[in-house]
Amino acid sequence: MDSASAHGDDLEIELRLLVEAIYLKYSHDFRDYALASLRRRVLHAVAQLNFATVSALQERVLHDPHTFSRLLQILTIPVSEMFRDPGYFLALRQHVVPVLRTYPSIKVWVAGCSTGEEVYSLAILLREEGLLERSIVYATDINPLSLERARTGIYPLAQVAGYAASYQAAGGRRALPDYYTAAYGGARFDRSLRENVIFADHSLATDSVFSETHLISCRNVLIYFNKKLQDRAFGLFHDSLCRRGFLGLGSKETVDFSSRAKDFEALVRSERIFRKR
Ligand SMILES: C[S@@+](CC[C@H](N)C(=O)[O-])C[C@H]1O[C@@H](n2cnc3c(N)ncnc32)[C@H](O)[C@@H]1O
């Protein structure tokens, strides 16, 4: 074995030991995340947190919850945008909302909601369609700091100004600033948008289902999972959705090649919106 491949193998051993240590100590389960992106994130963390090796990082993580918390921020990729891929939200308005309208009460699950931008986008959409008041939105993630930011609903004003075009392209009926108050460089979204939102810690890797949901939006989360964990998540979604419920994924994600493919049909394939069979 040449030294390059030996190095590769050593790194993989270190990665496996790190995720095992995290699981045993903190119950966060990264063992079935896609190896290539996990490797990139961990090497980034090693550099950013000033460790010499993955093993050195692992040793500290095991004994220091603060280092684990900093690592979690890097491993979970807490990036989001409002009305990301506007065509997705437009397709929800056009093809999903008319069905949701027929239910007396509606349950939505935003799985992997990060800092909440997707949740506020959906809340605005539901409000404009007259459905928010009879909806409950479960917004879940494994990153407690992201959930905390999501709960506050405050984002940098300059960033939010940049979402106006996406909001319009998503079929927005008003102007985005109608939904927030600007102060001290921040945009604070209306409290009423999150009145029916329950932010909660939930892992697609270890937890079970929310029952009888009508729409699940899980975007840009499954790309970080290996096939086994994706299959687990699709199983959870299937068990969680009501009869003929809807599943929205990110632009690079699909149920097509999963072992659960037969349990779903494409509703708007181009926007990754599926429906339970
Ligand atoms: C790139 S963000 C996507 C945010 C948002 N859905 C969007 O598309 O803008 C990925 C999110 O998935 C969350 N995540 C990672 N692993 C998870 C798991 N096992 N269960 C639930 N959420 C997870 C991360 O904490 C992070 O907030």
The secondary structure of 63-122 as a DSSP string is H-HHHHHHHHHHHT-----TTSSHHHHHHIIIIIHHHHTTSSSEEEEEES-TTSHHHHHH
Between the CA of 256 and the centroid of ligand 1 the distance, in Å, is 20
The predicted-structure confidence for 22-57, as pLDDT tens digits, reads as follows 999 999 999 999 999 999 999 999 999 999 999 999
Q: Residue 78 and residue 115: Cα distance in Å, rounded?
A: 7
pLDDT at 121: 98
Residue 73 in contact with ligand 1 by CB distance below 6 A: no
pLDDT at 8: 62
Phi/psi for 226 (5° steps) reads -80, 175
Mean pLDDT across the chain: 96
For ligand 1, atom 13, the nearest C-alpha belongs to 112
The predicted-structure confidence for 241-267, as pLDDT tens digits, reads as follows 999 999 999 999 999 999 999 999 999
Between the CA of 17 and the centroid of ligand 1 the distance, in Å, is 23
pTM: 0.96
Please list the residues that pair with 180 across neighbouring strands: 189
pLDDT at 210: 86
Q: Residue 26 and residue 93: Cα distance in Å, rounded?
A: 40
Residue 143 in contact with ligand 1 by CB distance below 6 A: yes
Between the CA of 196 and the centroid of ligand 1 the distance, in Å, is 21
Asked if residue 3 has pLDDT above 50, the reply is: no
For ligand 1, atom 3, the nearest C-alpha belongs to 220
| Contact call for residues 171 and 89 (beta carbons, < 8 A) | yes
Residue 78 in contact with ligand 1 by CB distance below 6 A: yes
Between the CA of 76 and the centroid of ligand 1 the distance, in Å, is 6
